[in-house]
Amino acid sequence: MALRRFPEGFEWGAATAAYQIEGAWNEDGRGLSVWDTFCRQPGKVFNGESGDVACDHYHRYRADVALMQQLGLQTYRLSVSWPRVLPFGVGEPNEKGLDFYDRLVDELIGAGIQPCVTLYHWDLPQALQDRGGWANRDTAQQFADYGTVLYDKLGDRVTRWVTHNEALITIAFGHLFGVLAPGIRDARVAGPALHHVMLSHGLAVQALRAARPDAEVGITHANTSYEAVDDREESLAALELARDFNTRAYHDPIYGRGYPKTVLAWYESQGGALPIQDGDLDVIAAPTDFLGVNLYSRQRVKADPSVSVGYRNAPPTLPVLDMGYEAAPFALGDFVRWVSAEYDRPKIYITENGVGDDTPKVDGEIDDHLRIDLLRGFLTGLHAAIEDGCDVRAYYVWSLLDNFEWAFGYGKRFGIVHTDYATLERTPKRSAGFYSDVIRQNAVDDDGT
């Protein structure tokens, strides 16, 4: 093993999301989100679980920030619950809800940890869903107005903002396959929703520029490093289709290229044409300061003319981890190289990367060596991509704590800190020690590749 040092000033952090950790679902005037509703529908979430309590971070945030400080985190990516701040999505802000984030930000800054705030990590106010949600164009402007509420309240201290977390997942899993909230399976809804989510990003960027010209803003996308099963022409075409639908559909408009033709044609063929109005694409292409990259694995794809999109996922050839992810640590470096080349070397923050690993607590300790091995591999690959000229400035591990893993409930654990859901006690895992060492040295002992 050799020590691979990251560039001077590289930032190390951890990420979470409001609904996954906060709990306090009905306190201090918080409104309902689509996740509160979804969790109450039988059969939607493993074991009928919900984020009602989650990690109870709403009440324990001080201790959690102290833990972050103890681990040596330099930055922390959190998301704000829109319905906690605006219970009905619009109108008068709920001061108590805003105050929570105000105190949290103060606590972080007091601990020397830079906040990175995501506006939207999937918890749309139910009141807006009742009026059509993302399929309703009004939601885009309402999102920007919600952003302005946060920029006004927190923008004197928060200088790093992410608009959306993983629009691909919002659209594909929330509106096409129906496995995440709001549980819709309809391309006629998904097409407009896709466009309005992207439009809302652009409007929120413009609103931030107006309110806080010195702040930096970007968008975070869900990524997979796609690979073709072989070198045949049809397989290589399938690879590009997978990238169009899952990657370019969300990146191209941000970088002024509009949506891929294949994606536009598919939605149109399904009766869900994107309702693009004059000027929308310019709004969406409002310049950003960084690209947020979330990545967990790779995916092999092959041609399949019998499916409407023309390709499908091929079976894994590597060991499969929790949530069906192949153990593919090289995928992070591979994807970063690809996305850097594709979009002219944007400044990148890895806003999520991590490993699901349910190693239990034995004698008070969690020896999650699988997570450590894979994180080491991800970081080795990332380091190599940086050496090759990719402009990566920060890395946020997913996640600080074991938390509510959406439709998987509490059944999947991604934390470097263990959460005991009976007592809500936090116990750093072995991987937390590994990560602290990485931060302290600004370097990783590589995996030998």
Catalytic residue numbers read 166, 352
For 391, half-sphere exposure in the C-beta direction (CA atoms, 13 angstrom radius) is 11
Q: What are the residues facing 120 on neighbouring strands?
A: 164
Report the 10 Å Cβ neighbour count for 72.
Answer: 16
Could you say which DSSP state residue 88 is in? T
- Residue with token string 């470096």: 333
DSSP output for 404-428: --GGGGGG----SEEE-TTT--EEE
Supply the minimum distance, in Å, between the C-beta of residue 166 and ligand FCB: 5
Supply the minimum distance, in Å, between the C-beta of residue 403 and ligand FCB: 8
Supply the minimum distance, in Å, between the C-beta of residue 173 and ligand FCB: 9
Helix (H) or strand (E) run with residue 216 in it: strand 216-228
Q: Can you tell me the distance from the alpha carbon of 27 to that of 241, in angstroms, rounded to the nearest whole number?
A: 45
Residue nearer to ligand FCB on the CB measure, 77 or 248: 77
Query: Which residue type occupies 393?
Result: R
Residues 6 or more apart whose Cβ sits within 8 Å of residue 91: none
Residue nearer to ligand FCB on the CB measure, 94 or 224: 224
* Among the listed residues 373, 397, 375, 382, the one whose alpha carbon sits nearest the alpha carbon of residue 332: 382
DSSP output for 359-402: ---BTTB---HHHHHHHHHHHHHHHHHHHTT--EEEEEEE-SB-
**Structure-block tokens of residue 226:** 């796609």
Q: What do you get for the CA distance between the two ends of the chain, in Å? A: 9
Supply the minimum distance, in Å, between the C-beta of residue 165 and ligand FCB: 5
How far does CA 391 lie from the centroid of its chain? 20
Residue pair 356/320 in contact by the 8 Å Cβ criterion: no
Residue nearer to ligand FCB on the CB measure, 6 or 414: 414
Residue nearer to ligand FCB on the CB measure, 18 or 336: 18
Query: Which residue type occupies 303?
Result: A
Supply the minimum distance, in Å, between the C-beta of residue 376 and ligand FCB: 19
Residues 6 or more apart whose Cβ sits within 8 Å of residue 265: none
Supply the minimum distance, in Å, between the C-beta of residue 222 and ligand FCB: 5
Residue pair 368/430 in contact by the 8 Å Cβ criterion: yes
List residues binding ligand FCB (CB under 6 A).
17, 20, 165-166, 169, 222, 294, 352, 398, 405-406, 414
